[in-house]
Structure 1
């Protein structure tokens, strides 16, 4: 049996058990202050028909999935951290929130169809994965998309996962690059961009 590789997020929380609670409270505080914490979700919502099916991959405490649920979509959120999932269930009832490793994502085995109209992966989730599992995660995204679905993945530069390497991994995992942006508010990607929002469809 292959030994499971823990994510970098799990290593962080193992070293500092209070980190997850701090993370939850940080976003609760930002929301209470009126800060915009759902810009990523607005982009995803704009891409979708009403009542679409969305996978919030690495959902954290549910800020994106909660917004998309309120917009009328059917949302499934998956995160490896049970503290974050508990916060999502408390703060954003309605979506299906699941504890799970994205590298082992198999929602049909849990009775959930793998035909999502969109997969949203924000919050630098890709950079918190164990490097050896990145390809498995991207392949799982491709498997869980509907034939016309799209995956939207965003993360910053200088976080241990170079953009060209990521784009190569995505292509090898069955994802076709449709568009590159430098922000969640649709600014074009350039060679100097320090953030990437990549929109993919399933490869033919």
Structure 2
């Protein structure tokens, strides 16, 4: 049996997330910052995997820009909310660790991706001790030349999240056969800062160390 994720352990305390983003969507607020960065990393009509897609806002925005998007989300309530908010977005209800090329092939979806999106503290909310396995799976799903967009809090993360020291993250990235192409402090590409980090990763064979 797989270990529960940090998100699952929080249970009903997670209700704020769907409510908050439902209110933002209804108000017309800009919730596409991550998607704009992702889109800038891609050619037109690219294959994108949104790992931990939540309410689906990033995946839906990228789909609206013409990309072939696979959204993967393990939380049933968020899957339902995502399908209600974005009826045209297909969501695979699964943990990323249970998604591989064979499963995607069986679903008639791409087996490798030009970009894997992993934003919104997803890496801080996986099951304890699975960061390496998560990054290994991300790397395995990259097409040649593919990249990864990752973002999470270094300070001030939600209470349900766990700390992920930079040294540990860099070690896991290297062990997954990935390299850092760029690091920023936000999704509007500010310089690196202590509170939040955004990385663009690539396979070691494709990127520059």
**TM over 0.5, shorter chain:** yes
Partner SS, residue 129 of structure 2 = helix
**Other-structure match for 1:95:** 89
Greater shift in the superposed pair: 72-81 or 26-35: 26-35
Unaligned runs of at least 5 residues, structure 1: none
Does the CA contact (< 8 Å) of 1:69 and 1:94 recur in 2? no
Q: TM-score, normalised by structure 1?
A: 0.90
**Other-structure match for 1:78:** 72
**Other-structure match for 1:145:** 142
Residue 19 (1) aligns with residue 18 (2): no
Unaligned runs of at least 5 residues, structure 2: 158-162
Q: Tell me by how many angstroms 1:69 deviates.
A: 0.7
Does the CA contact (< 8 Å) of 1:154 and 1:195 recur in 2? yes
Residue 180 (1) aligns with residue 178 (2): no
Give a deviation string over 1:100-149, Cα, whole Å, max 9, x none: 11233314324233221111111111111123111111000000011111
Partner SS, residue 130 of structure 2 = helix
C-alpha separation in 2, matches of 1:162 and 1:34: 35
C-alpha separation in 2, matches of 1:53 and 1:26: 29
Which runs of at least 4 in structure 1 moved beyond 6 Å after TM superposition? none
Q: Tell me by how many angstroms 1:9 deviates.
A: 0.3
C-alpha separation in 2, matches of 1:96 and 1:146: 21
C-alpha separation in 2, matches of 1:96 and 1:107: 17
Partner SS, residue 131 of structure 1 = coil
C-alpha separation in 1, matches of 2:128 and 2:185: 23
**Other-structure match for 1:7:** 5
Q: TM-score, normalised by structure 2?
A: 0.88
Listed as ranges, the matches of 1:1-204 within 5 Å are 3-13=1-11, 16=12, 19-20=14-15, 22-111=16-105, 112-158=109-155, 159=157, 160-189=163-192, 192-204=193-205
Q: How many residues are treated as equivalent by the alignment?
A: 196
Does the CA contact (< 8 Å) of 2:47 and 2:110 recur in 1? no
* RMSD (CA atoms): 1.5
C-alpha separation in 2, matches of 1:74 and 1:94: 12
Partner SS, residue 155 of structure 1 = strand
